[in-house]
Amino acid sequence: MTRTPTIGVLALQGGYREHMRMLKSLGARAAEVRLPDDLAALDGLVIPGGESTTMGKLMEQYELTQPLRQFATEKPILGTCAGLVMLASATTAGEQPLLGVMDVTVCRNAFGRQVNSFEAPVRLSFHGEAEGTFPGVFIRAPRVERIGPEVEVIATYEGHVVGVRQGHLIGVAFHPELGEDARLHAHFLELVLSMIRKPSE
């Protein structure tokens, strides 16, 4: 019998509590992450939305940047909105701290500022199979402008790439934790469980 996974949620700022609620509703343990030692016992990690520039500075302040990069080489991460930005290797404008673990370039605030927030259906697919639409909540949302050869597109909105997967790393531009549709978190937990059952050599 597979043990219950423990998923960390980066709790430096942003909407981490909503992710914890969603993960717990799916039967996972959820733990707040603020310091490098908090990563030790985790099976996966969620990097929530927020303000990516501030998040990056706080990661550096708490000496989390390098430990998070190392974590990303070994265990699954789900990044949402600002979390997608943090996972990216580059942004289209400006300089800011990034983890640089996904071969994508993102455009920050691609759909407008806070006042331009909106909800719209997103076309979702896992493993190349369509999952229908997903209720996308876009708040100062980024979009993916460039994807590398190892990156799979898992979500689109009006032709724009708003969700990607590279191996055990997933990034989406919207906020799946703000609705009641748990499919994306469930898919992430399936990925975590698959790596628990089949640890890398």
Give strand pairing partners of 163: 155, 172
Predicted structure pTM score: 0.94
End-to-end CA distance of the chain: 21
Q: Look at the block and give the residue holding tokens 């993960």.
A: 23
What is the residue extent of each domain of the chain? Answer: 6-197
User: Pick the catalytic residue: 81, 107, 168, 185?
Assistant: 81
Q: Is 177 a catalytic residue?
A: yes
Whether pLDDT at 200 is above 70 = no
What does the DSSP 8-state code read for residue 4? P
The tokens describing 90, both together, are 């580059």
Sign of the C-alpha dihedral, residues 100, 102, 106, 112? negative
- Mean pLDDT (whole number) for 120-148: 91
User: Pick the catalytic residue: 19, 168, 177, 187?
Assistant: 177
Q: Is 160 a catalytic residue?
A: no
According to the CATH classification, is domain 6-197 in 1.20.140.10?
Answer: no
Return the beta strands (E) in the chain as ranges. 6-10, 29-33, 44-47, 77-80, 88-91, 102-107, 118-126, 129-138, 143-147, 152-157, 160-166, 169-172
User: Pick the catalytic residue: 19, 175, 185, 187?
Assistant: 175
Give the residue, 122 or 131, on which the prediction is more confident: 122
Contacts of 133 (CB under 8 A, 6+ apart): 121, 122, 123, 124
The whole-number pLDDT of residue 201 equals 44
Q: Is 35 within 8 Å of 23 (Cβ atoms)?
A: no
Tens-digit pLDDT profile for residues 145-157? 999 999 999 999 9
Whether pLDDT at 112 is above 80 = no
- Model confidence at 127, pLDDT cuts 50, 70, 90, reads confident
The whole-number pLDDT of residue 115 equals 61
